[in-house]
Structure 1
């Protein structure tokens, strides 16, 4: 790999930096999404459609706990990027040490609580009827590996903050490939069913963590922490928590969304409707990989240049990130609109699921070409350390718009009301984010902004 230091984030061409940062991020997200997608295909074909619904029920719990690691990773990485931009290596090291300590404390506690309340959580998240038992089997084995996953998610974001996206990409590819191989071995060859699916996922987390540990112990990392860095520093912890809470809140809302969707759809159409949502959810993770990759690549560029007072470069990175995300979103939109039936047929041969999913998927993806504005806009405020606007903008789509819509519209339109809630929420949240971001650009990121003081 070509030698690259964090200083390059403040000097190289924005277009080249975005491609350099976004391409590995996109590939990593693609492989991770393919892993989830193929995992669902394997489970659906080798175990059954009920197993797909069972995994979907478990996702909110494991996502939320794993999100602790992601939240700590992104919150701390914002500090690290700005500290490196300001040439404050000591602050960057202390932040990284605090990230590790907090991740372990929180995730282990959450795993214990998750196991204690297992019989209450699964039904609450839609694991009812025939779904309960396979969901419980999968839930228990996956939960044991969540602290390792949280550490991996945290470490991956720190690697990006150092400006090393290729290593972050590899860290995402390893567990994805590992999970698929282990799925084949545990489910198909050894016939271990849902337990095998869970075991494959957990072992893949361990493989990911092993690689990330190698990175930070090798010469590739600029962060050489000592034991003293693990001691909690309250000012850093406060800022990291405020910024990380943005990500945690977003993931918490995702978990709440899964809870509502699984229960609403179960009441409307039973297990098959839950399976329809499971397939659409997987496609949302998979198909949006290039847009999410641009967002991930944008974060360290914006954070570093903001910390270095290079505001014109920040403005340029915003404009180009939105442009790239919009173009990629348009390709995703066309793909989903043209091939929905072919996509669904890969997952299952269940006649009702095959009939209902294509139309629902087309509706859900209707506003994809414009969501880059919402993603980049909320990511910008998180990158520069402005927690409150980042939090509010992050919550607009699912928290402020989608959840109220999905609680109201099905009462009038039935199951179709669930699906039309997605594009309506996308459009409304994009408008709100666009207004905030435009005001920020025109008032803060003006050409002669070098004299401005960073909040």
Structure 2
């Protein structure tokens, strides 16, 4: 049996193949969120809510950094899966090497730009004179560890794309464990406050990055990171970047909307409502990650079978991933609607924060189920290498629908308009994406005959 045959997704049960990757990836995504969420939980226990609000102001910058990591990771990993399905492991390794080089370049550039423009950006993002010192302290240290974020987050999809879901989970599990242990030591024990939270995060991400590099250069990997494959090739880079723009624009538009939300909430509600949005964003990250984990877990299986010409299996993977995504989204929606106060108190117990946060949270998540359909549909587009559709729907919900409504609705609705804008975008964006995927991908694949398995 050849080495790659162990992770041949053209054979065996589709649900089993997907869940063997999705479960550890979901766990990995949830653990990954702990990097920032644990920081917010600890800082939310400091007197007042200024530290938590200040940390929330850095979310757009962190999201952009993650976007550049996704540009390479979610762009290169599906290409690797397709090439593996076609039996071309050499080209898959070249994609891996080029993606790594891009991560290093983007990491250096992003660090320099954000350090230079840090102060005006934070004020643009909704900082006040009271919250800027907290945001500045966290952001300065976090930016110095950008390269660790890029390597750990950007290269981990290449581990999962080879079928090593458990190893991918360990990447973020190691970092999260280090972060959880160091946070209280630095924040409270050493009295470093937000600086301690940032330092713990950087050290944790450095551990994850070293773990990823150790695996991808070791003997267990089917596709290895080799120096000879790191020289950039324009057509290959173009393919990686074009497909990765979907994940990049998702992070970029999330950042854009967060900037608009913070600025609008600062104008209509002050630091209190910026703090409420920080809590809601933290909950969104936690409960959104299983949806993203399932979508990312299905992509290697979908892409591999598509490359192998097993179109009936592609359709089965689409059906399964959409069904599980909707079931999970419905469960979270019920929790958010029934127990909003309990969720908010995880981060902050102040009565004014809880009072303002309960109605805001219910409005924000009231249409979470349709939004999960966008992730399912967009994951199919990325898994099959259909970059144009993936990019379009990344931009549609946030940039075209959400951002303008966030500015317009508060004119009549005040702070409520900011949270209503998100709900409206979830409904329109989700339905548009899933219906487009159904009519342009799922139904046409039903008319294509499967290729013989000997081709795999």
TM-score, normalised relative to structure 2: 0.95
Cα shift at 1:48: 4.1
How far apart, CA to CA, are the structure 2 residues paired with 1:80 and 1:259? 34
Residue 266 of structure 2 corresponds to which residue in structure 1? 266
Matched, 1:386 2:380: no
Residue 13 of structure 1 corresponds to which residue in structure 2? 13
Residue 454 of structure 2 corresponds to which residue in structure 1? none
Question: How do 1:414-425 and structure 2 match up within 5 A?
Answer: 414-425=414-425
Question: How do 1:265-344 and structure 2 match up within 5 A?
Answer: 265-344=265-344
Cα shift at 1:72: 0.4
Which shifted more, 29-38 or 204-213? 29-38
How far apart, CA to CA, are the structure 2 residues paired with 1:224 and 1:291? 29
Alpha-carbon deviations, 1:193-243, whole Å to 9, x = none?
A: 111111111111101111112211222211234322111111111111111
1:333/1:365 contact within 8 Å kept: yes
Question: How do 1:122-141 and structure 2 match up within 5 A?
Answer: 122-141=122-141
How far apart, CA to CA, are the structure 1 residues paired with 2:147 and 2:250? 19
Residue 87 of structure 1 corresponds to which residue in structure 2? 87
How far apart, CA to CA, are the structure 1 residues paired with 2:449 and 2:9? 19
Number of matched residues?
450
How far apart, CA to CA, are the structure 2 residues paired with 1:159 and 1:323? 26
Cα root mean square deviation, aligned: 1.7
Three-state SS of the structure 1 residue aligned to 2:163 is coil
Which consecutive unaligned segments of at least 5 residues does structure 2 have? 452-456
Cα shift at 1:346: 2.3
Question: How do 1:53-202 and structure 2 match up within 5 A?
Answer: 53-202=53-202
How far apart, CA to CA, are the structure 2 residues paired with 1:46 and 1:98? 44
Alpha-carbon deviations, 1:113-148, whole Å to 9, x = none?
A: 111112211111112220111111111000011111
Alpha-carbon deviations, 1:396-452, whole Å to 9, x = none?
A: 22122111211211111111111111221111012211221111245531153347x
Cα shift at 1:263: 0.5
How far apart, CA to CA, are the structure 2 residues paired with 1:192 and 1:341? 30
How far apart, CA to CA, are the structure 1 residues paired with 2:214 and 2:224? 13
Which consecutive unaligned segments of at least 5 residues does structure 1 have? none
Cα shift at 1:167: 0.8
How far apart, CA to CA, are the structure 2 residues paired with 1:332 and 1:439? 28
1:187/1:193 contact within 8 Å kept: yes
TM-score, normalised relative to structure 1: 0.95
Cα shift at 1:58: 1.1
Residue 237 of structure 2 corresponds to which residue in structure 1? 237
Alpha-carbon deviations, 1:27-84, whole Å to 9, x = none?
A: 1122223443332110110364111111111121122123211210110111101000
Which shifted more, 253-262 or 288-297? 288-297
How far apart, CA to CA, are the structure 1 residues paired with 2:199 and 2:34? 18
Three-state SS of the structure 1 residue aligned to 2:223 is coil
How far apart, CA to CA, are the structure 1 residues paired with 2:272 and 2:437? 41
Residue 205 of structure 2 corresponds to which residue in structure 1? 205
Three-state SS of the structure 2 residue aligned to 1:10 is coil
How far apart, CA to CA, are the structure 2 residues paired with 1:335 and 1:34? 20
Question: How do 1:250-261 and structure 2 match up within 5 A?
Answer: 250-261=250-261
Three-state SS of the structure 2 residue aligned to 1:12 is coil
Three-state SS of the structure 1 residue aligned to 2:329 is helix
Matched, 1:227 2:227: yes
Cα shift at 1:338: 1.5
2:7/2:162 contact within 8 Å kept: no
Which shifted more, 173-182 or 325-334? 173-182
Cα shift at 1:251: 0.9
How far apart, CA to CA, are the structure 2 residues paired with 1:241 and 1:193? 38
Residue 368 of structure 1 corresponds to which residue in structure 2? 368
Distance 1:5 1:261, change over 3 A: farther
